[in-house]
Structure 1
Amino acid sequence: MAKTKNVYVCSQCGYESPKWMGKCLNCNSWNTMTEEVKVPEKAVVFNRAVTISGGGKPQNIKDIKSSQFERFDTGINELNRVIGGGLVKGSLTLISGDPGIGKSTILLQTAKRIADKYGKVLYVSGEESEEQIKMRAERLDCISDNLYILSETSINLIEEHIENMNPVFVIIDSIQTLFKSQITSAPGSVSQVRECTNDLMRIGKTKDIPLFIVAHVTKQGELAGPRVLEHMVDTVLYFEGERTQEFRILRTIKNRFGTTSEIGVFEMRESGLEEILDASSVFLQETSFEQEGSVVIATIEGTRPLLVEIQALVSETKAVMPRRTSVGIDHSRMSLILAVLEKKLKIPFYSSDVYVNVVGGLNLEGTFGDLGLAVALISSAKGRTVKLERPLFVGEVGLTGEVRPISNIERIVNEGQKMGFKNIIMPYKSKEKLGDKFKGVNIIGITTVKEAMGKVF
């Protein structure tokens, strides 16, 4: 019998070391080395037959036939949007998010719709029993004749059931609970997650079965397990939002079959996750245009323009170190805008606490909201409201106080006009680019933050 030995494996990159180290030598991550029991390769027989294509000789790229991937309609428009138009046959999709955010809910709803339309669907759960899943399915009205439930954690047995059943769609909930009998480490370890994902990829590619894999997250909100997991799969989806709030954002982090940074918007109800097709109207339904410190900004998420409300509160403080708190906006971006306003407009934020919030739980990325954030901060600091009728702000603020042009301006103006905004404040170069295309809305072009404050207040 071959001897086993203990090794230390980095949970970020999978680097192995015979002894523990505080810092991984491969990826330079701290405190990521975990102990595992390793059996020598001679004692383990791996099923390494990962044949994605039919095998054979290398082909010239000009001789390979090009065709559009065949996709399954999930029955949920917002999910179709984020994965690029539907489920591609043989694709491997990873979905993650905080506990209780709705991962299992949306997968059960997807399983029901695909089962009704295409055929047998297998839902494999390593965390819940069949009875628990049946109770959730009854509550969500997701009962189907072609939906099969399996409570199992052995990847070898799961592969046997897939061979016998031949489903059109498989869901694994979750990858951290699966184990392979040839590997001695515990389920959820780097070796187990890597090998189980490798087996699932082989099953999906050889049988043309789309697979959805649920993955846990760490306390820091990052994907649990080795970093190689994200590289192995075709698509990575992430659920954002607070469990106490009703809105959920499904964001695409990686997609080999479509665009990235696309989002889908859902609302959590008793009947499950309901998709929201007109997201801007939902985020703006409680917006008041006569409150100081409150403005509406435009941003682009993937291909979708979104209008959201930014609220700022500036309050004088006697503390030596004033507080800076931002929710939904990058903290360093807020600090940059504050520094520009202090330098160019001589507003003393150094003696005030500053709080910024994006209404609806959305996390803004990019620089589309810089101008709106600056206006909200000045409005709260001076106690003055914006004098324009139903204003919409969009533009990037530079370190010299200039307002720089942004992309996709036509989509933003179309969305603002559809939502009933009368005045759109944007960079002057963006206004020049539009020309005379839009007649029903007043477009105000500006070049600096100082000029914007003069026209707004």
Structure 2
Amino acid sequence: MAKIKSVYVCQECGYENPKWMGKCPECNKWNSMVEEIREAKTTSTPVNSLTTLTGNASVPKSIGNIKSGEKERIDTGVKELNRVLGGGLVKGSLTLISGAPGIGKSTLLLQTAYNISKNSGKVLYISGEESEEQIKIRGDRLGVKSEELFIVSETNMDIIEEHINNLSPAFVIIDSIQTVFKSSVASAPGSVSQVRECSNIIMRLGKKENIPFFIVAHVTKQGELAGPRVLEHMVDTVLSFEGERTEEFRILRTMKNRFGTTSEIGVFEMSEEGLVEISNPSMIFLEETNFEVEGSVVIGIIEGSRPMLVEIQALVSETKSPMPRRTSVGVDHARVNLILAVLEKKLKIPFYNCDVYINVVGGLNIEGTLGDLGLAIALVSSIKGKVSKYEKIAIVGELGLTGEIRPISFCDRIINEAEKMGFKNIVIPYRNSLKCKRNNINIIGVSSLKECILKIFS
């Protein structure tokens, strides 16, 4: 007879302990240990030799004898989603998508399910949070009408597995994994044991039947994936849907991808008809840009393999407070402090008695160092009240601690994007300017921050 035992499991990292602890020693989270009841098997059948294994057991192979090849992919019908996935949905893959409530995850998945059902066969949409009628209402708003798209509201993993076996779909969506439970596991839905067990069943079904799965997961208030972190390690791809509910634009970012790069992004606009793809993000982000206002600068960045031009705004105002405020939206706070320190040290511009506010227009988060020079120029423009003497100018470059402008990668792509968007001038590092020659755009090469300011404002 199996023994019943109680184990306390951390709901953040999966750490197990026979006794309750207020703080998890593995991830240092407080009050994350939850009791789970398990059955311990008293007997087991040891495997003594390879002869006792079944014919389905795995056998070690030489890497030279293993066939390699590109996985077969399914067109999702959404070009921006295909870009993020690395060219389409890989058959038998397990993809996890997360995002804040109301960001548009279910809308994107319903549109994707509709497109696949028209071209690749049956699609099963499993919802544990909404009824079939609620999904139908959203489908009517999005114009989703397909006889090959099946919807079911279910949370029992045994019944879900039976539906998948009976329907044999080409694509399955589970919304969300925190609501699904396995009846044989004695813990609440969303716990470590439930998520691990249900994910193992889904992964086995996907690999066995060659069915791609999309799994929706909740996020915390800090924007991190809610629930056990073990889920991120089990899936093939992790997508993050970012943006503000009050903003129109949404960004789909890859956090992990076993079948492609993790540096691509997809840009969408939320409308009454659903999510609309943005094939030219630069045009959208620069739509309301005023080039005659101090503190506003257009910078060039690279997101994945895609060059983009975005507007960065700086507001510097004198304050009597002994602790000046430093607020940045879309730019790393530490990066802002570093650039302010360089400006104070090398140019003798005082920011110690000023409040500084930084904002990237459109809700985009800038990573990397390509926007350093543009941010520095925006700060100088705001505190001095000056505007560039050049018409329609873009700025790109990395700023060093000694005030030098360091060369960047993919400079040609950024120049081509600026030229396509109608910019007449672009500031780039001097070493990059030696290799970049254009007829339709004036290239201004600079080697130091002081030289750049003199050329732009004098």
Shared fold (TM-score greater than 0.5)? yes
* Deviations 1:51-73, CA, capped at 9 Å, x for gaps: xx975422222222222211110
- The whole-number CA distance in structure 1 between the counterparts of 2:115 and 2:31 is 40
**Residue 110 (structure 1) shift:** 0.3
Match of residue 427, structure 1, among 413, 426, 429: 429
Which structure 2 residue ranges, 5 or more long, are not aligned?
A: 45-54
- The whole-number CA distance in structure 1 between the counterparts of 2:6 and 2:356 is 51
Residues 356 and 172 of structure 1: is their aligned pair in 2 closer, same or farther, counting only changes over 3 Å?
same
Indicate the residue corresponding to 1:444 in structure 2. 444
* Deviations 1:73-127, CA, capped at 9 Å, x for gaps: 0111001000001000000000000000000000000000100111100000000
- The whole-number CA distance in structure 1 between the counterparts of 2:453 and 2:21 is 55
Would you say the 8 A contact 2:7–2:38 is kept in 1? Answer: no
- Matched residue type, 2:25: L
Match of residue 95, structure 2, among 93, 96, 99: 93
**Residue 432 (structure 1) shift:** 2.1
- The whole-number CA distance in structure 1 between the counterparts of 2:56 and 2:340 is 59
- The whole-number CA distance in structure 1 between the counterparts of 2:453 and 2:188 is 60
- The whole-number CA distance in structure 2 between the counterparts of 1:289 and 1:177 is 50
* Deviations 1:213-262, CA, capped at 9 Å, x for gaps: 00000111100121121111111110111001100001111111111121
1:9 equivalent in alignment to 2:9: yes
- The whole-number CA distance in structure 2 between the counterparts of 1:44 and 1:180 is 23
1:29 equivalent in alignment to 2:28: yes
- Other structure's SS at 1:300 match: strand
Indicate the residue corresponding to 2:181 in structure 1. 179
Would you say the 8 A contact 1:44–1:182 is kept in 2? Answer: no
**Residue 30 (structure 1) shift:** 2.6
Match of residue 105, structure 2, among 94, 103, 107: 103
User: Between the two proteins, what is the percent identity of the paired residues?
Assistant: 67
**Count of residues in Structure 1 that have an aligned counterpart in Structure 2:** 447
Q: Which moved more, 1:211-220 or 1:425-434?
A: 425-434
Indicate the residue corresponding to 2:38 in structure 1. 39
Indicate the residue corresponding to 1:319 in structure 2. 321
- Other structure's SS at 1:433 match: coil
Would you say the 8 A contact 1:11–1:32 is kept in 2? Answer: no
Would you say the 8 A contact 1:2–1:39 is kept in 2? Answer: no
- The whole-number CA distance in structure 2 between the counterparts of 1:6 and 1:456 is 69
Q: How does 1:39-188 map onto structure 2 within 5 Å?
A: 39-42=38-41, 55-188=57-190
Q: TM-score, normalised by structure 1?
A: 0.95
- Other structure's SS at 1:373 match: helix
Q: Which moved more, 1:28-37 or 1:306-315?
A: 28-37
Would you say the 8 A contact 2:300–2:307 is kept in 1? Answer: yes
Would you say the 8 A contact 2:405–2:446 is kept in 1? Answer: yes
**Residue 430 (structure 1) shift:** 1.5
1:455 equivalent in alignment to 2:450: no
* Deviations 1:298-349, CA, capped at 9 Å, x for gaps: 1111110110000000011111111110111111111111111111111111
Indicate the residue corresponding to 2:18 in structure 1. 18
Residues 281 and 141 of structure 1: is their aligned pair in 2 closer, same or farther, counting only changes over 3 Å?
same
Would you say the 8 A contact 1:403–1:427 is kept in 2? Answer: yes
- Matched residue type, 1:418: K
- Other structure's SS at 2:77 match: coil
**Residue 43 (structure 1) shift:** 8.8
Indicate the residue corresponding to 1:256 in structure 2. 258
- The whole-number CA distance in structure 2 between the counterparts of 1:220 and 1:92 is 25
Would you say the 8 A contact 1:75–1:113 is kept in 2? Answer: yes
Q: Which moved more, 1:8-17 or 1:191-200?
A: 8-17
- The whole-number CA distance in structure 1 between the counterparts of 2:192 and 2:331 is 33
- The whole-number CA distance in structure 1 between the counterparts of 2:85 and 2:439 is 36
- The whole-number CA distance in structure 1 between the counterparts of 2:217 and 2:226 is 7
1:328 equivalent in alignment to 2:309: no
- Matched residue type, 2:197: E
- Matched residue type, 1:237: L
**CA-atom RMSD, angstroms?**
1.7
Would you say the 8 A contact 1:424–1:441 is kept in 2? Answer: yes
- Other structure's SS at 1:349 match: coil
Q: How does 1:233-272 map onto structure 2 within 5 Å?
A: 233-272=235-274
- Matched residue type, 2:80: E
Residues 190 and 32 of structure 1: is their aligned pair in 2 closer, same or farther, counting only changes over 3 Å?
farther
Indicate the residue corresponding to 1:49 in structure 2. none
- Other structure's SS at 2:34 match: strand
Would you say the 8 A contact 1:298–1:307 is kept in 2? Answer: yes
1:226 equivalent in alignment to 2:228: yes
**Residue 2 (structure 1) shift:** 4.7
Would you say the 8 A contact 2:96–2:235 is kept in 1? Answer: yes
- Matched residue type, 1:39: R
- The whole-number CA distance in structure 1 between the counterparts of 2:137 and 2:88 is 28
Q: Which moved more, 1:60-69 or 1:159-168?
A: 60-69
Q: How does 1:277-288 map onto structure 2 within 5 Å?
A: 277-288=279-290
Which structure 1 residue ranges, 5 or more long, are not aligned?
A: 46-52
- Other structure's SS at 1:21 match: coil
Would you say the 8 A contact 1:20–1:33 is kept in 2? Answer: no
- The whole-number CA distance in structure 2 between the counterparts of 1:126 and 1:244 is 26
**Residue 445 (structure 1) shift:** 1.1
Would you say the 8 A contact 2:111–2:142 is kept in 1? Answer: yes
- The whole-number CA distance in structure 1 between the counterparts of 2:407 and 2:20 is 51
- Matched residue type, 2:132: E
- The whole-number CA distance in structure 2 between the counterparts of 1:389 and 1:63 is 61
Q: TM-score, normalised by structure 2?
A: 0.95
- Other structure's SS at 1:39 match: strand
- Other structure's SS at 2:20 match: coil
- Other structure's SS at 2:339 match: helix
- Matched residue type, 1:451: E
**Residue 23 (structure 1) shift:** 3.8
- The whole-number CA distance in structure 1 between the counterparts of 2:330 and 2:93 is 32
- The whole-number CA distance in structure 1 between the counterparts of 2:162 and 2:280 is 44
Would you say the 8 A contact 1:96–1:215 is kept in 2? Answer: yes
1:370 equivalent in alignment to 2:369: no
- The whole-number CA distance in structure 1 between the counterparts of 2:447 and 2:31 is 48
Would you say the 8 A contact 1:428–1:445 is kept in 2? Answer: yes
- Other structure's SS at 2:302 match: strand
Residues 245 and 42 of structure 1: is their aligned pair in 2 closer, same or farther, counting only changes over 3 Å?
same
